[in-house]
Amino acid sequence: MKMKEIALSVIIYAFLGYLWVLFSERMVSIANAMGNMLIGGLLLSFGTLLFFAIVNRIAPFHNYKLTHPTRLVGAASFLTVVLSILFV
Tens digit of each residue's pLDDT (9 = 90 or more) over 25-72? 888 888 888 878 888 888 888 888 998 888 777 767 677 777 888 888
pTM of the entire predicted model: 0.79
Helical residues (DSSP H) of the chain, grouped into ranges: 3-33, 37-58, 69-87
- The whole-angstrom separation of Cα 37 and Cα 26 is 15
Alpha carbons within 13 angstroms on the beta-carbon side of residue 62 total 9
- The whole-angstrom separation of Cα 61 and Cα 82 is 20
Burial of 16 (0-12, 13-18, 19+ CB in 10 A): buried
pLDDT at 18: 94
